[in-house]
């Protein structure tokens, strides 16, 4: 593929991660041509230039207390955040190396691929997505695990924060389309009671999709067992959105809905969260070592391609930041993700310079729109992934797995040939952990 120049191949993925912005104008209006220079060296120069220009143009440092102020010049018009549920980082790298994810490759070629670690909660869907859409700790969201949760308080998600920052719901369209009914769900107690985990849209009667749930689909026993008294994580969020569309379904159903809502809500600007459950379901059913798991990732990639194609057709691509990531990885060659902290981020955001945790992604999105994330209450645990990497991290390198904090005391045992040497060995699920 195009991004695999000899230099990049020699240095492998670490070099690809460092490649940014070639010959294309970016959101700050900077144009670059790296054809005759060392890309690696220029990556740094360009990153610094872009950052400086971004600051000069007011890129992202408006005061949050301005509230109704419009977004500063230089900020993106739209953001699309996409979750490919349960797709392990080593497998993403494997598929990229084999040119099996062409649309993800095209996206990151314009921005970067970053290492994201899941920290602070079990590596499961509910807390992963609660963090992804708030940047907050579990203590704030109330979403601790798939079994222990309550609705995220009103005002805490990136959707609501953007509405407030821009001065109202009419200033930005916000919507969520999900492929899981319960774990990325927004049903209230009565709806859960009526529908159980048997499928159907939030607020509607169970649909026939329930019968198609794959073995190991992690919402089935969970929602029934949890019997939440207050509602699912996005029960309160749902009220603030233009559309909250959740059901148990695969990319073939989620993808067209994404395009439908994008078309409907493209004006004046939008913040969209699009969730594809396919890798997680394929992993539970067939294992993370299976062809089916990889094919599920490819299905996601096809829809990414269609979404990007639509964005380009609308002439919105240079105004739209796209972030693709996962809520958790998968245990190596297993049907579980009990200890699977290997998330990742692929984005066309040229200002993203380093990896971090899930919470850093929503912090990045808010900052890119112009919100002063340091002043938000409750305080975000995430920090923008722009600017210099935190001390101890290199911008162009995946961060080490074992840093002595949070991610853990795991031993790196090598593991899958040709994949991630740092992949941790599976270990028994922590008490209370669910899928
Ligand atoms: Zn799962």
All domains of the chain in start order, with CATH: 7-65 (no CATH), 78-375 (3.40.720.10)
- The confidence band for 192, taking pLDDT boundaries of 50, 70 and 90, is confident
- For residues 56-66, average pLDDT: 35
Q: Are strands 78-84 and 342-347 parallel, antiparallel or unpaired?
A: unpaired
CA of 29 to the centre of ligand 1 (A): 40
CA of residue 344 to ligand 1 center, whole Å: 16
Higher pLDDT, 204 or 85: 85
CA 415 vs CA 90, 265, 331, 422: distances in Å = 11, 45, 11, 8
Q: Measured in angstroms, how far is the CA atom of residue 195 from the centroid of ligand 1?
A: 20
Average pLDDT, the chain: 76
Residue 273 alpha carbon to ligand 1 centre in Å? 19
| Ligand 1 center–CA 279 separation, angstroms | 9
CA of 352 to the centre of ligand 1 (A): 28
Q: Map tokens 């796209």 to a residue.
A: 322
Q: Where are the alpha helices (DSSP H) in 314-406?
A: 360-369
- CA 85 to centroid of ligand 1, rounded, Å: 8
pLDDT at 69 over 80: no
Token digits of residue 91: 């497998």
Cα 193 to averaged position of ligand 1 atoms, centre (Å)? 22
Task: In whole angstroms, give the CA distance from residue 14 to residue 12.
Answer: 6
Comparison of pLDDT for 160 and 435, the residue scoring more: 160
- The alpha carbon of 137 and the centre of ligand 1 are apart by a number of angstroms equal to 21
How many whole angstroms from 217 Cα to the centroid of ligand 1? 7
This model's pTM is above 0.85: no
At 196 the pLDDT is 58
pLDDT in tens, 179-191: 998 889 999 988 8
CA 280 to ligand 1 centroid distance, Å: 5
Please tell me the distance between residue 79's alpha carbon and the centre of ligand 1 in angstroms: 26
Rounded-to-integer distance, Cα 339 and Cα 402, Å: 14
Alpha-carbon Rg of the chain, whole angstroms? 20
> Given the structure tokens 């490649």, which residue do they identify?
19
Cα 25 from chain centroid?
A: 24
**80 CA to centre of ligand 1 in angstroms:** 23
Helix (H, G, I), strand (E, B) or coil at 331: coil
Question: pLDDT tens digits for 231-255?
Answer: 999 999 999 999 999 999 999 999 9
**428 Cα–ligand 1 center, Å:** 15
If pLDDT is split at 50, 70 and 90, which confidence band does 193 have? confident
81 neighbors 176 (Cβ within 8 angstroms): no
- The DSSP line for 53-85 is HHHHTTTT---GGG-SPPPPTTS-SEEEEEEET
**How high is the pLDDT of residue 72?**
52
Q: Encode pLDDT of 4-55 as tens digits.
A: 333 333 333 433 333 333 333 344 333 333 333 334 443 443 444 444 343 3
Q: Are 180 and 248 in contact (CB under 8 A)?
A: yes
170 Cα: distance to centroid of ligand 1 (angstroms): 35
Distance 7 CA to ligand 1 centre (A): 37
CA distance 427 to 410: 9
Span from the CA of 20 to the centroid of ligand 1 (angstroms): 32
Question: Which pLDDT belongs to residue 195?
Answer: 73
Cis peptide, bond prior to residue 268, ω within 30 of zero = yes
Q: Which residues of 134-162 are buried (b: 16+ CB within 10 A; e: fewer)?
A: bbbbbebbbbbbbbbbbbbbebbbbbbbb
Token reading at 225: 């067992």
Q: What is the DSSP string of 6-72?
A: HHHHHHTHHHHHH----SS--TT------TTS-HHHHHHHHHHHHHHHHHHTTTT---GGG-SPPPP
Report CA(277)–ligand 1 centroid distance (Å).
9
CA of 233 to the centre of ligand 1 (A): 16
User: How many angstroms is it from 180 CA to the middle of ligand 1?
Assistant: 10
Q: How far is the CA of 328 from the centre of ligand 1 (A)?
A: 8
The CA-based angle 417-423-426, given to 5 degrees, is: 110
Measured in Å, residue 123 CA sits from the centre of ligand 1 at 9
> Residue 404 C-alpha to ligand 1 middle, in angstroms?
26
How far away, in angstroms, is 282 Cα from ligand 1 center? 9
Dist. CA 276 → ligand 1 center (Å): 12
pLDDT at residue 403 is higher than 50: no
Dist. CA 337 → ligand 1 center (Å): 7
Distance 202 CA to ligand 1 centre (A): 20
Mean pLDDT computed over 361-369? 97
Distance of CA 336 from the midpoint of ligand 1 (Å): 7
Q: Tell me the average pLDDT across 397-414.
A: 34
């Amino acid at each position: 593929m195009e991004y695999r120049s000899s230099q990049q191949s020699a240095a492998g993925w670490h070099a690809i991660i460092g490649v940014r912005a070639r010959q294309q104008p970016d959101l700050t209006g900077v144009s670059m041509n790296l054809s005759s220079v060392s890309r690696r060296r220029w990556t740094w120069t360009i990153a610094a230039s872009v950052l400086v220009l971004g600051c000069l143009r007011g890129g992202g440092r408006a005061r949050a207390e301005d509230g109704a102020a419009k977004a500063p010049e230089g900020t993106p018009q739209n953001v699309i955040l996409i979750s490919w549920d349960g797709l392990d980082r080593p497998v993403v790298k494997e598929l990229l190396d084999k040119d099996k994810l062409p649309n993800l490759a095209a996206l990151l070629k314009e921005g970067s691929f970053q290492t994201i670690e899941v920290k602070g909660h079990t590596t499961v869907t509910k807390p992963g997505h609660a963090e992804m859409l708030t940047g907050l700790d579990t203590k704030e969201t109330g979403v601790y695990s798939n079994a222990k949760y309550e609705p995220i308080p009103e005002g805490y998600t990136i959707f609501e924060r953007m509405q407030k920052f821009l001065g109202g719901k009419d200033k930005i369209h916000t919507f969520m389309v999900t492929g899981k009914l319960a774990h990325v769900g927004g049903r209230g107690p009565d709806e859960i009671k009526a529908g159980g985990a048997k499928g159907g849209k939030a607020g509607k009667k169970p649909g026939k999709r329930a019968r198609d749930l794959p073995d190991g689909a992690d919402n089935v026993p969970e929602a029934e067992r949890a019997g939440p008294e207050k509602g699912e994580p996005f029960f309160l969020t749902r009220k603030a959105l233009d559309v909250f569309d959740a059901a148990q379904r695969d990319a073939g159903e989620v993808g067209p809905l994404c395009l439908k809502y994008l078309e409907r809500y493209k004006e004046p600007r939008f913040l969209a969260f699009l969730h594809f459950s396919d890798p997680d379901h394929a992993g539970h059913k067939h294992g993370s070592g299976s062809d089916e798991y990889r094919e599920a990732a490819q299905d996601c990639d096809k829809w990414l391609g269609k979404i990007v194609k639509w964005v380009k057709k609308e002439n919105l691509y240079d105004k739209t930041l796209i972030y693709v990531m996962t809520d958790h990885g998968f245990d190596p060659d297993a049907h579980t993700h009990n200890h699977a902290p290997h998330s990742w981020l692929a984005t066309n955001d040229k200002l993203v310079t380093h990896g971090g945790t899930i919470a850093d992604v929503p912090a990045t999105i808010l900052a890119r729109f112009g919100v002063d994330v340091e002043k938000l209450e409750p305080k975000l645990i995430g920090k923008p992934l722009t600017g210099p990497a935190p001390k101890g991290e290199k911008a162009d390198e995946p961060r080490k797995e074992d840093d002595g904090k949070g991610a853990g005391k795991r031993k790196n045992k090598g593991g899958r040939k040709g994949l991630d040497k740092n992949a941790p060995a599976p270990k028994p699920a922590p008490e209370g952990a669910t899928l």
